[in-house]
Amino acid sequence: MEPVENMPSWMLTQTAAHAGRLVSEGFAAVGARGYHYRVLSALITDGPASQADLGRRTGIHLSDMVTALNELEASGYIRRVPNPDDRRRNIITITGHGIERAEALALQARAVQEEFLAPLDEAERAQLTALLRKLYDHHLSQGFPPLSKM
Amino acid sequence: MEPVENMPSWMLTQTAAHAGRLVSEGFAAVGARGYHYRVLSALITDGPASQADLGRRTGIHLSDMVTALNELEASGYIRRVPNPDDRRRNIITITGHGIERAEALALQARAVQEEFLAPLDEAERAQLTALLRKLYDHHLSQGFPPLSKM
DNA sequence: CGGCTAACGTTAGTCTTCCAAACGTTAGTC
DNA sequence: GACTAACGTTTGGAAGACTAACGTTAGCCG
């Protein structure tokens, strides 16, 4: 039987774990975690949201969202206010400070990607992206939400 | 700035997280964890080894190796005996029962891979594997050990 | 032969990500 | 008013990844 090390999905999870490690290390170096970046990024991309909505957008579990928002709020990266129209909900908004933070983390993520993808030329990168996009869209169509670090 | 969702490494970690989840669920369904499979697989591939050696082969930290071996030994999948030539070390050997277990887990991993790679045809799978192998070999050459679930 | 360093294995612990259950408050429907 | 569901919080666990401390053993060196 073919060894597992030749399987594409083994290769995928190995290389992704490596990329994930590089990103985590970069984030940890500036006192951030993957959840922080995911939340700030979602707020920039899609605007203010309730906690539950943010959880749905990012794939972060609602109980972990509480912790992540507590940390981001404590550092002044987001603002959290009750929704006057529906007091079950908070409205989460990114601050100017938070935008700067997200941009700094995005720069770091890009730097990691450059290091990580160094062995591939532009054509190979485009090829890889197209193949992965095909897999990814398939999974979205099966109902799996966005998840993971970057 | 280009959104993070278009970055190849984002796509990679997303799809890999999905694959990892499928594998973990499959293993959990039969009371196994990723570490169990990695250890059994390494013993089949490379033969008996000390705990430290197994840790080096699999990327599993030596303290987690203790726990994983405790669980595998309790279930009769491996045998652990002191090395008479060097009493600092144990010799870890897979049992017949362990080989069966590893094969069952490998079958499951293959099934997951089939499901996961369904959107790609054979040529695309070969292409994906070649690109990932290029990335993976680069990382090995930089000193990163094997890691992750499968 | 004793001192020293390193390897081995174990234990206890932390951090991050992912996930679940229980609870109180609020909103909407009937 | 009763009921159901949504929201947010709290508490907890599992898995993977990692660290530090400790005791035992082995090898090297003067």
| CATH number, position B31 | 1.10.10.10
Cα pseudo-dihedral A99, A105, A108, A112, rounded to 10: -130
Q: Is the CB of B50 under 7 A from strand C?
A: yes
Is residue B95 one of the residues assigned to a domain? yes
Is residue A9 one of the residues assigned to a domain? no
Is residue A36 one of the residues assigned to a domain? yes
- Report CA(A2)–C1'(C25) in Å, whole number: 57
Is residue A134 one of the residues assigned to a domain? yes
Residue B91, pLDDT > 90, answer yes
Can you read off the two tokens belonging to residue B39? 């250890």
Residue B142, pLDDT > 70, answer no
Can you read off the two tokens belonging to residue A106? 């995005």
**What does pLDDT average to in each consecutive run of 10 residues of chain A (150 residues)?**
66 83 89 94 95 94 96 96 95 97 91 87 91 82 54
| Covered bases, chain D (protein CB within 7 Å) | 6-12, 15-21, 23-27
Domain containing residue B75: 19-141
Is residue B87 one of the residues assigned to a domain? yes
**Shortest CA to C1' contact from A62: nucleotide:** D8
Q: Which of A2, A5, A13, A140 to mutate to test binding with chain B, by most B CBs within 10 Å of its CB?
A: A13
How many whole angstroms from its chain centre is CA A148? Answer: 6
Q: Give the CA angle between residues B7, B22, B45 to the nearest 5°.
A: 100
CA B51, CA B74: separation in Å to the nearest integer? 16
Residue B149, pLDDT > 60, answer no
Instruction: Provide the pLDDT confidence category of residue B116 given band limits of 50, 70 and 90.
Output: confident
- In total, how many domains does chain A have? 1
Residue B109, pLDDT > 90, answer no
A147, B14: Cβ pair inside 8 Å? yes
Identity of the residue in A8, A13, A110 whose CB atom sits nearest the CB atom of B125 = A8
Nearest to A65 by CA among A86, A101, A56, A87: A56
Query: B47: Cβ–Cβ under 8 A, 6 or more apart, which residues?
Result: none
Is residue A17 one of the residues assigned to a domain? no
CA B140, CA A122: separation in Å to the nearest integer? 22
Render A74-111 in DSSP notation, one character per residue: HTTSEEEEE-TT-TT-EEEEE-HHHHHHHHHHHHHHHH
Instruction: Provide the pLDDT confidence category of residue B138 given band limits of 50, 70 and 90.
Output: confident
ipTM for this prediction: 0.85
Is residue B56 one of the residues assigned to a domain? yes
In order of A133, B11, B73, B108, B120, the CA distances from B26 in angstroms are 24, 23, 21, 7, 22
Higher pLDDT, B5 or B16: B16
Is residue B10 one of the residues assigned to a domain? no
Q: Is residue A25 within 8 angstroms of chain B, CB to CB?
A: no
Average pLDDT, chain B: 87
